[in-house]
Structure 1
Amino acid sequence: MSKSLYFAWVVALIATLGSLYFSEVAHFIPCELCWFQRICMYPMTIILGIACFRNDRKIAYYVLPITIIGGLFSIVHILEQKVHAFAGICKQGIPCSGEYINWFGFVTIPMLALCGFILITISMIVTLRNR
């Protein structure tokens, strides 16, 4: 089994479980941009799990576009929270500018999601190079 493929699956699993913890246990209501990030992350838990079981390294071709799109949503969300010029992108429901957590002054939920997408992207590139 490819270590980078397994690592990507573990990252997706932790990100999914962390997201579910924030919403279901901590009762943080997800905003619109959070939902788009979840739409990108949640299926990767299953897709990468199956790829690990089958040792299917070609899955990287399918996962990379999803991680890049999810990462872009995370960047927009971080900009919404941290840069006042981007405030107001998300106007319906829960405001996307809200910060449920702010560890060390910069680690917010979309920052955690971006880290997950970046780690999975790097893992997929390593997986493709090791083919």
Structure 2
Amino acid sequence: MRRIDTRPVLAAGTLVAVVATAGSLYFSEVLGLIPCELCWYQRILMYPLVLVVGVAALEDRPDVYRSALPLSALGTVVAAYHSYVQVAVESTTCTVGGCGSVQFRLLGLTIPNLSLVAFVLLSLALVVALRGR
């Protein structure tokens, strides 16, 4: 079985984390969408992944999955739950205090849907890096 070069995979994961982080900051700071509690949990789980996976990509450390995969897997769960709540509740708020993410759609996806896609892609990149080590 051929060994996978993990550096490009980790670099792609870093790019996903950077885009997700920049997007969340754009939504709140530029568009003025107020994040709800679930949005904050997703941010807390995504933001450190930029540095953790980024440094691992620079240093070619596929063992980063030990610290990064729990964050991205938990982020996937929170984003999936957040997406579910938006569909199940069918209202303009998803948690106590409201959520600006219901108001904005990109390609038909809400912000929690976009977050779910980012966490899934990042988790897949980490699993591929794990398999390639």
The one-character-per-residue Cα deviations of 1:102-126 (angstroms, maximum 9, x if unpaired) are 3454x00000000000000000010
State the Cα distance separating 1:97 from its structure 2 match.
8.4
Secondary structure, counterpart of 2:105 in structure 1: coil
Answer yes or no: is the 8 Å Cα contact 2:38–2:82 preserved in 1. yes
| Aligned counterpart in structure 1 of residue 54 of structure 2, from 49, 62, 69 | 49
Aligned to 1:122: 124
Aligned to 1:110: 112
| Distance change in 2, residues 1:129/1:32 (3 Å) | same
The one-character-per-residue Cα deviations of 1:32-86 (angstroms, maximum 9, x if unpaired) are 100000000000011111111111110012111111111111111111111138x
Aligned to 1:75: 80
Q: How many correspondences in the alignment?
A: 128
| Distance change in 2, residues 1:104/1:18 (3 Å) | closer
Secondary structure, counterpart of 2:43 in structure 1: helix
Identical positions, percent: 37
Secondary structure, counterpart of 1:27 in structure 2: coil
Work out the CA distance in 1 between the residues paired with 2:30 and 2:125: 30
Answer yes or no: is the 8 Å Cα contact 2:101–2:111 preserved in 1. no
Q: Give me the TM-score of the superposition, normalised by structure 1.
A: 0.88
AA in 1 matched with 2:28: S
Matches within 5 A, 1:52-67: 52-67=57-72
| Distance change in 2, residues 1:98/1:31 (3 Å) | same
Note the residue ranges of structure 1 that are not aligned, 5 or more in a row. Answer: none
| Aligned counterpart in structure 1 of residue 102 of structure 2, from 88, 99, 103 | 99
Answer yes or no: is the 8 Å Cα contact 2:86–2:94 preserved in 1. no
Deviating beyond 4 angstroms after TM superposition, the runs of 4 or more aligned structure 1 residues are none
| Aligned counterpart in structure 2 of residue 9 of structure 1, from 14, 21, 40 | 14
What RMSD in Å do the two structures reach over aligned CA positions?
2.2
AA in 2 matched with 1:33: L
Work out the CA distance in 2 between the residues paired with 1:97 and 1:50: 32
Answer yes or no: is the 8 Å Cα contact 2:14–2:53 preserved in 1. yes
Q: Give me the TM-score of the superposition, normalised by structure 2.
A: 0.87
State the Cα distance separating 1:30 from its structure 2 match.
0.5
